[in-house]
Structure 1
């Protein structure tokens, strides 16, 4: 049960699809419940849609009684609620009412996201959001957080029965071997005609991603800035970064080729519960620079696979990126270390861990809240 699914493409959808891929490979059965419209099936698994509406370019499912009806018909062994908020809350409640064990995946920092759009009501909105998060996750038998920083945040705000479950990366798709392909060489020639060092960002172009921080590195000497992605902030960012190359939205092999064309990867947002694009960049053999906050703390090893900069210190991002720009040997060494680290983070192993959590909550001895 997911708040987002195909054709919408984002971190939640990607994670859900990778889990489904490996469930299919292992012979498990699954049914996807998501906002419509959506494909009728995925990897042979049926997709059941519920009524939804579009909010800020996101398709949002409505928390109707359809969820309880669908769960009653399907009678699954376990309900997996991906990034629950509205639709997921209703599904977790339905699972509890029907006596079906539930696993909630905390992925989106919704309190911070809502607070960023709340203006003078920021503090109040954040408090209300956390009360809601605590309530809806209290309905789950277990809540899985993607990073140690996020797990600590959940515990701090009173979310019960929380544990750590990380994310995998497709090391076959994102690979340093693409660097020598004709397509990547052509892309590099297009965005860095004079052999500049290419600094890049990949992700959604929205306010909460804080992509405006790239202005700090936009004028570094002998560099070319590349932005991959799309979203509601694109027009403002194009005005802020007039010399940057905006490549638009990419997925699959074209996305992997865009990573391979970069020399340095920069992550900008401070409210990430994980940081999947960091893993993809590292799998591609890139040194990475990210804020010392949230999910990146678990992914980036400072001085080995990249740098963590202080997001509150003026010039910290620029200094970190510049140290990589001026030292090709350092970039290569850190990129190699990053690639080796990601080789141990395949989706296969990560989903096996998730299946272990499924197995735990379905056992009769598992301590769960009373219905």
Structure 2
């Protein structure tokens, strides 16, 4: 199979979209498929997993590169001649790729990953929210298949009138993120650095951006016996530091690979305060690491957190409930261990290999749908002038 991946985000930008695209490319390589990537210009490597990376013009918005429609997209797709176009979190660039695929009767799969409308809603832009959903519908209506990461996302897409939607979650690296990391030298060093007195470490991993709502961690102010660790970077760093001033907070910056795995393992519990997650990949990584999770009862976390089993869901508009659930876990070490073990068990069937295998099945389904659509087109016959006369 030949797969053209058109992603609104790629290396060196680190986020959920980039991570899932990288894992998909590695799976395609390992299974003998061919692929190429088109992404916004941001200094990406020339190749990844042995596949070529093509950058197109982009502009920066809040430190994030946004790809612009370009004639180069159609040319690259024509030269590669894919069986399917995979549009990752499609926006301007993805919309062009889906349209280009449609003109050539090539199947397309749109992966819904970013709650664009949620961003507009958070900023109180009612008209912009409606416009955002119209834009999402316009982009996804052109695809043969839309993949949503959670039941909440599927419901939102259905409410917006988007059809041909199936659920496709995200995988997790079960070897990198593992409870055994808790005994590693790197983890023990981090614990000594932030909790030398045996404090309970409350951790967060992700972008420090408005949609992540990290300022809500101020609800934990005055809670005894805790240390807060924040891993990541982003445009909201000044705002978050102001909100948490005077609290026992350590910022680790952006970490990857083994350092990130050690950071997770140094946590006693994981808190994700943002209410706009279409999935919640860091929640899965925390569970794989054997850590209980506290997250909002909104979006992707609803599918990932089993209340009272591997974590708690607080009410999105109630910071007091966030504090209450964190306090319960801070006070009860045995409960943290039981929930951490349950979290690990919950993700054992979600390896990237398994999840990407599902994705290839969705590719085949989209290809079959496109083939049926083409076969159903009426045949237009040209009538010669001689016969007309």
Q: TM-score, normalised by structure 2?
A: 0.92
1:91-140 Cα shifts (integer Å, max 9, x gaps): 100000111100000000011123434x5xx1000000101110110000
**Distance of 2:350 and 2:24 partners within structure 1:** 14
Worse-matched range after superposition: 39-48 or 361-370: 361-370
Q: Say yes or no: does 1:266 pair with 2:271.
A: yes
Give 1:344's aligned residue: 349
Give 2:386's aligned residue: none
1:216-231 equivalences in 2 (<5 Å): 216-231=219-234
**Distance of 1:368 and 1:250 partners within structure 2:** 46
**Distance of 1:258 and 1:204 partners within structure 2:** 15
Q: 2:104 aligns with which of 94, 98, 109?
A: 98
Give 1:151's aligned residue: 154
Deviation at 1:336, TM superposition (A): 0.4
**Distance of 1:368 and 1:155 partners within structure 2:** 22
Q: Say yes or no: does 1:2 pair with 2:7.
A: yes
Q: Say yes or no: does 1:89 pair with 2:132.
A: no
1:167-186 equivalences in 2 (<5 Å): 167-186=170-189
Q: 1:198 aligns with which of 194, 201, 208?
A: 201
Quote the RMSD (CA, aligned, Å).
1.4
Give 2:293's aligned residue: 288
1:1-371 equivalences in 2 (<5 Å): 1-36=6-41, 37-117=43-123, 119=124, 122-242=125-245, 243-363=248-368, 368=373
Deviation at 1:35, TM superposition (A): 1.2
**Distance of 1:97 and 1:290 partners within structure 2:** 43
> 2:214 touches 2:274 (CA, 8 Å); kept in 1?
yes
Give the 3-state SS of the residue equivalent to 2:7 in structure 1: coil
Worse-matched range after superposition: 42-51 or 274-283: 42-51
**Distance of 2:10 and 2:337 partners within structure 1:** 37
1:324-365 Cα shifts (integer Å, max 9, x gaps): 000000000000000111111100010000000111111267
> 1:141 touches 1:368 (CA, 8 Å); kept in 2?
no
Q: Which runs of 4+ in 1 moved over 3 A?
A: 114-117, 364-371
Give the 3-state SS of the residue equivalent to 2:137 in structure 1: helix
Structure 1 unaligned spans of 5+: none
1:18-77 Cα shifts (integer Å, max 9, x gaps): 111111111111011111232111010111111111111011111122111111111100
Deviation at 1:301, TM superposition (A): 0.4
> 2:144 touches 2:369 (CA, 8 Å); kept in 1?
no
Give the 3-state SS of the residue equivalent to 2:143 in structure 1: coil
> 1:146 touches 1:295 (CA, 8 Å); kept in 2?
yes
Larger Rg: 2
Structure 2 unaligned spans of 5+: 1-5, 378-389
Deviation at 1:367, TM superposition (A): 5.2
> 1:92 touches 1:102 (CA, 8 Å); kept in 2?
yes
Deviation at 1:366, TM superposition (A): 5.6
Q: TM-score, normalised by structure 1?
A: 0.97
Deviation at 1:241, TM superposition (A): 1.4
